[in-house]
Amino acid sequence: MSLSTMNTQALHLDAAYAAAQPFGQRLMNSMWTLATMVGMSVAQVTQGTLVAQLALTEVSFPHPLFAGDTLYAETEVLEKRDSKSRPTAGLVTRNGKHLEVEPLFQPGTALLVARDGIKHSPGDLVLYMSAHGRRVKIVKVIGRKGQVRDVLEALLLDSVPHRGFTPRVLAEAAAVAQRDSAQDEGRVDLRRLFTFTIDPETARDFDDALSFVPAAGSGAISRTK
Answer whether residue 1 shows pLDDT above 90.
Answer: no
CA distance 189 to 208: 18
What are the strands, taking DSSP E only, across 10-162? Answer: 88-95, 98-103, 111-117, 124-132, 135-144
% of the chain with per-residue pLDDT over 70: 86
Sign of CA dihedral 172, 177, 178, 182: positive
3-class state of residue 224 by DSSP: strand
Consecutive H or E run containing 213? strand 209-214
One-letter amino acid of 163: R
- Over range 100-108, report the average pLDDT: 86
DSSP label of 85? S
Q: How far apart are the first and last CA of the chain?
A: 61
- pLDDT per residue over 54-92, tens digit each? 778 788 888 899 999 999 988 887 776 655 567 889 999
Q: How many CB atoms sit inside 10 A of residue 197's CB?
A: 12
Per the confidence metrics, is the pTM higher than 0.75? no
CA distance 135 to 93: 14
What's the pLDDT score for residue 19? 93
**Half-sphere exposure (Cβ direction) of 145: Cα atoms closer than 13 Å:** 14
CA distance 15 to 25: 6
Q: Compute CA 105 distance to the chain's CA centroid, rounded to the nearest angstrom.
A: 9
Domains and CATH numbers, the chain: 1-79 (3.10.129.10), 88-159 (2.40.50), 167-224 (no CATH)
